[in-house]
Structure formats: C-alpha cells, structure tokens
Amino acid sequence: MIENPHITQSAAQLAAVIRLTIAREEIRNVMGPGFGELMTALVEQGIEPTGPWFTHHLRMDPEVFDFEMCLPVATPVTPVGRVQPGQLPATKVARTV
C-alpha cells in the first residue's frame, strides 16, 4: 500500500564548520582532530553547541570526500584557524510516514 506523503520542513541551522577535501582513506585520521578543533574554537569563544556534530557532504565521489565537519550553534562563530562560520540550509522534503 502506498502511503500519503507528508512535507517535512527544517529551518536553517547556524554551525561552526571545517571544510575538508581529502582522500577517502584519510577520513579516520581527520575526524577526531577536526572535532577537537571545532570544540576548542567554541570553548575559546564561550559558545555552546546546540546539538550533536554532523557532516555536510558537498560532492559525491567514491575516492574523495569533500565535506564540512559541523557543530550546530545559536550564534555565529568568529573565524579562527580552519574553523569558519557556516549554515546548513533550510530544507523541505516530501516523505511517507
């Protein structure tokens, strides 16, 4: 049986981000240090994350990961090192429930 679709909408989400373009096999070497770098920047700026970290993939390629490591925040982060202010755009998705 086909379910009726429902529209799900999410608001834009401010984030502290580090953009990375790396070889696929390097992923396990960059995630821990990158997360630590994000947390250090937030602590130094007195900003609390508003949720769990996430990744935002920008390009699909089996050999290269082009993505952003992100921590959601309520206020924009000031750029420091590789950490930049960013935003996950608002989305509107039709799905069945």
Residue 34 bridge partners (DSSP)? none
What pTM did the predictor assign?
0.81
Rounded to the nearest 5°, which phi and psi values hold at 48? -95, 140
Contact 47, 73 (CB under 8 A): yes
Length of the chain: 97
Contact 16, 73 (CB under 8 A): yes
Residue ranges of domains in the chain: 5-96
Q: What is the mean pLDDT of residues 14-36?
A: 96
Residue 22 CA from chain centroid, whole number: 16
Q: Is the pLDDT of residue 3 over 80?
A: no
Classify domain 5-96 at the CATH topology level.
Answer: Multidrug-efflux Transporter 1 Regulator Bmrr; Chain A (3.20.80)
54-82: per-residue pLDDT in tens?
998 998 889 999 999 999 999 999 999 99
Q: What share of the chain is helix, strand, coil (3-state, %, to 5)?
A: 25, 50, 30
